[in-house]
Amino acid sequence: MATRSLWRAKLALSATALLGGAAAATITTSEDPAMTMKLYSTVPVRLFRDSVAAAAIAFDYEYSLWGLPEGSIERSKAKHEVHLRSARKLQELCFKNGGIYIKLGQHIGQLEYLVPEEYVQTMRESMLNKCPVSTYEQVCEVIEKELGDKPDKIFSEFDPVPIASASLAQVHVARTHDGQKVAVKVQHTHMTDTAAADCATVNVIVNTLHRVFPSFDYRWLIVEMRESLPKELDFLNEAKNSEKCLHNFLKLSPRIAAYVYAPKVYWNLSTSKLLTMEFIDGAQVNDVKTIKKLGIRPDEVARLVSETFAEMMFKHGFVHCDPHAANLLVRPLPSSRKSILGKRIPQLVLLDHGLYKELDNETRTNYAALWKALIFADADAIKENSAKLGAGEDLYALFAGILTMRPWNRVIDPAVDHLVIQGNDSDRSELQMYASQYFPQITELLRRLPRVILLMLKTNDCLRSVSNVLLQEPSLETFMIVGRISSEAIIEAKLQKRSFLSWLSACVDEILLEVRLFTMRVALWLLRLRKMSWQLALK
């Protein structure tokens, strides 16, 4: 009887969500009759799928966990199985609906340890490699509408087969009439027509699950997508972001500006739905084999990636928030020559500049201060700066754990390698248990934090994944880079206040920084020496 009542409640809730989503979709309709027709022909189908999926997932959790005591082995096993089933249902829904649902799935796949591991793995294994592909006829339609003629007229050559496809667009190789090889990014035709309505329908799943499970509150993800998607769909905005990014490196980080690059934009061949850029030959940042063939050391690439994004986060306050492997290319620095040993200096090429976030000066400085405290195991500063960023007096340890993927006792351990993750099964199990045990608190923390910091968490997860592939083993050097640049950002902020006390404090900080970095370098050298001794002893 109770189960039947529960099922009735789920159906009623789904119906309510369906009507609410339909109303939201109606609000998004355009005065354009063709668009309205498309909306009314596609939205009801997607709304129905969303409602069925949301109700099925909610019922599965409620039914599967019914009566199983918290902390029991039976509940833990049942929760794993229902997580897996629900992740597959969500995956299937994303593929059926396409569009921004693929983007949502990709986003979930990058929220390591912020959502259950089963969701992360399911989405990560499929979403990056199975994006929709527009037909050549659809591509021609977009190009003709945007540039006034067909591809074979606009370009001297145009490959009809895309070299890459993502959730919002796909890329074709072409050649301009003056012989320049270019990459042409063409927006999928359906995105313009259904993006606004899709945002409304995605609400159905998240809001329904939140009503059934109040502790499952990921509504911030929908708000973030609603704000970010129009910017990502405007390719002229993406072009401006790429130029601003390079300008920031030239102005604020001249020391590494030559080692960071973004493809040149052909403005006369670009619109809000079509972007023509310089074609760059390079290896994806996770393609270690090709990187080595280019004569580049993977550990140098890992250091460059860490330095690039640390500069963006702590000094520029203008951060590329989608640094997964497909968006980071590596090539030899064009101006460099091979060393005697045949090695080349790496240059990092940043692609897909649609998703950037700006950190205001206060947030940027507090975030830099937090990372400095994390690197140097300063418990008081961690608490202080976590509170400044919104974690409060009660969730600072959890916030530190999410940022570093280490439990609190390791975060404040004075050992120089306290944040290094060994990457073994024991470490991985500990992290997954940590995330599962504190899931309600994690949800509450995500609700409190500013959305710009939530995007930093996603960016950190992407960068951690890239670093793990490049280094193949735990490394202290990337933490040294983060510690140095975050400390420099704080010193620069103090110097900008133009007072004697601020100048004196900055000088003291600089001396302490050099001492700490020297200590870490010595410790790193000793660790390497110890490792070599072990290897020799084993032989």
Contact predicate 21/197, CB 8 Å: no
Helix or strand run (H / E) with residue 261 = strand 260-261
Spell out where 306-465 has E strands: 318-320, 328-332, 346-350, 356-358
DSSP conformation class of 315: I
Residue 439's pLDDT is what? Answer: 72
What lies within 8 Å, CB to CB, of 395 at 6+ separation is 386, 441, 444, 445, 448
The dihedral over CA atoms of 192, 196, 199, 203, expressed in degrees to the nearest 10, equals: -150
Lowest mean pLDDT among 75-84, 187-196, 401-410: 187-196
Segment 117-175, tens digit of pLDDT = 788 888 877 776 667 788 999 999 999 999 999 999 999 999 999 998 887 899 999 99
Residue 16 pLDDT grade (very low, low, confident, very high; cuts 50, 70, 90): very low
Residue 345's pLDDT is what? Answer: 94
For the cut 60, the answer to whether the pLDDT of residue 30 exceeds it is no
Lowest mean pLDDT among 27-41, 75-89, 201-215: 27-41
Contact predicate 458/321, CB 8 Å: yes
Extract the tokens encoding 39: 């909306």
Q: Phi first, then psi: what are they for 162, rounded to 5°?
A: -70, 145
Q: In 353-424, which ranges are continuous DSSP H helix?
A: 361-375, 379-388, 396-404, 408-411
Task: Show the 3-state SS of 459-485.
Answer: HHHHHHHHHHHHHCCCCCHHHHHHHHH
Segment 104-131, tens digit of pLDDT = 787 777 766 667 778 888 887 777 666 7
Contact predicate 24/203, CB 8 Å: yes
Packing angle of the helix pair 396-404, 361-375 (nearest 10 deg):
80
Cβ atoms within 10 Å, residue 471? 18
Residue 23's pLDDT is what? Answer: 44
Segment 52-103, tens digit of pLDDT = 887 888 888 888 888 888 778 888 888 889 989 999 998 888 888 777 787 7
pTM of the entire predicted model: 0.82
Residue 7 pLDDT grade (very low, low, confident, very high; cuts 50, 70, 90): very low
Q: How far apart are CA 405 and CA 420, in angstroms?
A: 9
Extract the tokens encoding 408: 């609190």
Residue 15's pLDDT is what? Answer: 46
Tell which residue, 347, 191, 340, has the closest CA to residue 274: 191
Q: How far apart are CA 155 and CA 184, in angstroms?
A: 10
Q: Which residues are catalytic?
A: 322
Extract the tokens encoding 269: 């061949």
Average pLDDT over residues 328-347: 88
Q: How far apart are CA 256 and CA 246, in angstroms?
A: 11
Q: How far apart are CA 188 and CA 191, in angstroms?
A: 6
Average pLDDT over residues 209-216: 68
Sign of dihedral through CA atoms 418, 525, 472, 536? negative
DSSP conformation class of 99: T
Q: What is the largest CA-CA distance in the chain?
A: 79
Extract the tokens encoding 10: 């789920």
| Residue 180 burial by Cβ neighbours in a 10 Å radius (0-12, 13-18, 19+) | middle
Average pLDDT over residues 451-472: 85
For the cut 50, the answer to whether the pLDDT of residue 263 exceeds it is yes
What Rg value do the Cα atoms of the chain yield, rounded?
Answer: 25
377: alpha, beta or left? (left if phi > 0; alpha if psi -120 to 50): left
Residue 118's pLDDT is what? Answer: 84
Residue 293 pLDDT grade (very low, low, confident, very high; cuts 50, 70, 90): very high
Segment 417-449, tens digit of pLDDT = 777 766 555 555 565 666 666 777 887 888 888
Residue 379's pLDDT is what? Answer: 94
Residue 35's pLDDT is what? Answer: 52
Across the chain, mean pLDDT equals 82
Segment 378-405, tens digit of pLDDT = 999 999 999 999 998 889 998 998 888 8
Q: Transcribe 190-246 into DSSP letters.
A: HHHHHHHHHHHHHHHHHHHHHHH-TT---HHHHHHHHHHHHHHT-HHHHHHHHHHHH
Residue 19 pLDDT grade (very low, low, confident, very high; cuts 50, 70, 90): very low
**How far is residue 308 from each of residues 134, 253, 301, 516, 530, measured CA to CA in Å?**
34, 9, 10, 22, 30
For the cut 80, the answer to whether the pLDDT of residue 268 exceeds it is yes
The dihedral over CA atoms of 438, 440, 118, 356, expressed in degrees to the nearest 10, equals: -100
Residue 37's pLDDT is what? Answer: 57
